[in-house]
Amino acid sequence: MAPEHPPIQPGDHKGYLEYALSLAERSPPKPTNFRVGALVVDANTNTILATGFTLELEGNTHAEQCCFIKLANEHGVAEDELGSVLPSNSVLYTTMEPCNKRLSGNLPCTDRILRLGGSIKTVYVGVLEPEKFIGENRGRKRLEEAGIEVELVEGLQERILEVATAGHQD
C-alpha cells in the first residue's frame, strides 16, 4: 500500500508529479544517477497503487522499477507477470522520462513498462531525460510506438532537474 499523501484530485497531473518529486527528494544524491520519483495510479479510482524513488530498494534501482517490484511482491507475482494483476487503466507518473538504456546492465524502465502488456496506458513525465549519461533517450518514442501515451506535464521542470541532478559534478 502506498504511504499517506496529500489528497490529489483526479486528473491533477501536476499534483501527482509534485508528490513524485517529494519522493525523489528522498533518493540519495550521487554523481552517477538521477534522483527520480514515480507513482503507479489506478486512473479509474484515483488510487495510488505504488510509489518509488531512485535507490529506494536494494541494488541500482530506478524509481519506476521500485514501484513494479513492490507491486509484484504485493500481488505475489513475478515482475514480468504484473500486467495480469494491474487495473486496466493504470497510469505511471514519473518525474523523468523512463530510461531506455541502463549502463548497469539492469533492464531499462521502458522495457519494464512494455512488458506489462498495455496495463499502463499513459506515462506522465515532468522532464525528458537529460543526455548526460546515455545520450538520446528513445524511451518516449518506444512507448508511443507501442500505443502508450507519454504526456509531458509542464510547470515543474526546473525543480525536477534541481532535485534530479543533486550530487552531480559539472
Residue with cell 502506498: 2
Task: Order across the sheet with 90-96: list the strands.
Answer: 47-53, 37-42, 90-96, 120-127, 149-152
CB 137 within 8 A of CB 100: yes
Do 118 and 124 meet the contact criterion of CB atoms below 8 Å apart?
Answer: no
Which residue(s) pair with 120 in the sheet?
A: 90
64 is known as an active-site residue:
yes
Rounded Cα distance between 22 and 64, Å, is: 15
Give CA–CA dist 52/55, Å, rounded.
9
List 18, 56, 64, 129, catalytic entry: 64
The Cα–Cα gap between 62 and 124 comes to 16
What are the catalytic residues?
A: 64
